[in-house]
Amino acid sequence: MAFLSRSRETSPLDGVDVVLADLDGVVYAGAGALPYAIESLTKAGEGRALGYVTNNAARTDVSVAVHLGELGLNVQPADVITSPQAATRLLQTLIAPGSTVLVVGGEGLVVELEKSGFVVTRTADDNPAAVVQGFAPEVNWLQLAEAAYALKLPVEEGGIPWVATNNDWTIPQSRGIAPGNGTLVSAVHTAVGRLATVAGKPEVPIFDEAVARFGAASPLFIGDRLDTDIKGANAAGIPSVLVLTGIDRPKHVLAADPVSRPTYILSDLRELHEPYPEARVKRDGSVTVRDATVRIEGNRVVPVDRGTRQIDLLRAAAKAIWDSGRAIYGFDVDEALYADPFHRN
């Protein structure tokens, strides 16, 4: 979905009626806001709705809204779509109302399950009808072990459903990159040899819920991860922005597979409000974005002109590589094309 064709340069926000933003790595890293995020999103919300879609299962929609309010955004709990909400909706299709559910996770998951009438337990001894697993900082070996005990039977032998709120391997924090829910789900998988059904990004239901909640006709999704945010938005048919303030870096952009390529690549959220440059392909196959030009020469990807903005050089390199139809490992990519001066925290 990358590099929309247009006769004039428009901003990523033109024609958009709802902006849907991921949180970790887009709005904040840890407790603090990322540079330019609050003012850029506030401006984006003038004349259109803002929603927040998060795979973080540790907190409730209320606590997320409070946190965003403290950072300077005007947010109501209904503006927040969480992976526990998606997991709960999925559970309602798998087990009977009022069933007992073993929870590995924190308050964000417990609250959503109880709101829907499920009974929460922390032990496999209560014979739960399903296991739901989401990230929380307090998750420990004891919780993972209880999940493994409850999931000891394979599905084909009558085993119970196992739903994971998300499968993100990492979480950006103020001190760096920390293990995410995917690492904890993997620990249980290693113990029991089963795979969880994932409810959050990159699965489509959480995007469908966000679009339905706002009645969006022309949504735009902003994320920092190719494998969850961008892949999920693409699967849901939603134009996407990858902002380089979180997990994925320029080298990941160049290597993105076709289902994980964003419509727009931004260094930070200020560029939501700038005209997005057209990528022009010349007769010799070189790609120019503003004053940056990249060309493929055999198996080499080289900068012909580095231009004045690193983000334009990255956009040109991505266009050239993606349009080639060749995998990144078949290229010798000049280091200048994936230089990384962009804001991360």
- Catalytic residue numbers, as ranges: 22, 24
Q: Which two tokens stand for residue 245?
A: 């303030």
Q: Residue type for 36, please? A: Y
Interatomic CA distance for residues 274 and 182, integer angstroms? 35
275 pairs with which residues across the strands? Answer: none
Instruction: Please state, in angstroms and as integers, the Cα–Cα distance from residue 163 to each residue in 63, 102, 129, 345, following that order.
Output: 23, 10, 11, 32
295 pairs with which residues across the strands? Answer: 302
Q: In this structure, are residues 335 and 306 in contact, taking their beta carbons and an 8 Å threshold? A: no
Interatomic CA distance for residues 151 and 143, integer angstroms? 12
Interatomic CA distance for residues 14 and 34, integer angstroms? 24
Interatomic CA distance for residues 106 and 97, integer angstroms? 21
SS3 assignment, position 215: coil
Q: Edge-to-edge, what's the strand order for the sheet holding 119-121?
A: 119-121, 100-104, 130-133, 162-164, 197-198
Interatomic CA distance for residues 204 and 70, integer angstroms? 30
What are the b/e assignments for 304-327, b being 16+ CB within 10 Å? bebbebbbbbbbbbbbbbbeeeee
Per-residue HEC secondary structure of 74-93 comes to CCCHHHEEEHHHHHHHHHCC
What are the b/e assignments for 12-38, b being 16+ CB within 10 Å? bbeebebbbbbbbbbbbbeeebbebbb
Q: In this structure, are residues 111 and 77 in contact, taking their beta carbons and an 8 Å threshold? A: no
CA 153 to chain centre: 32
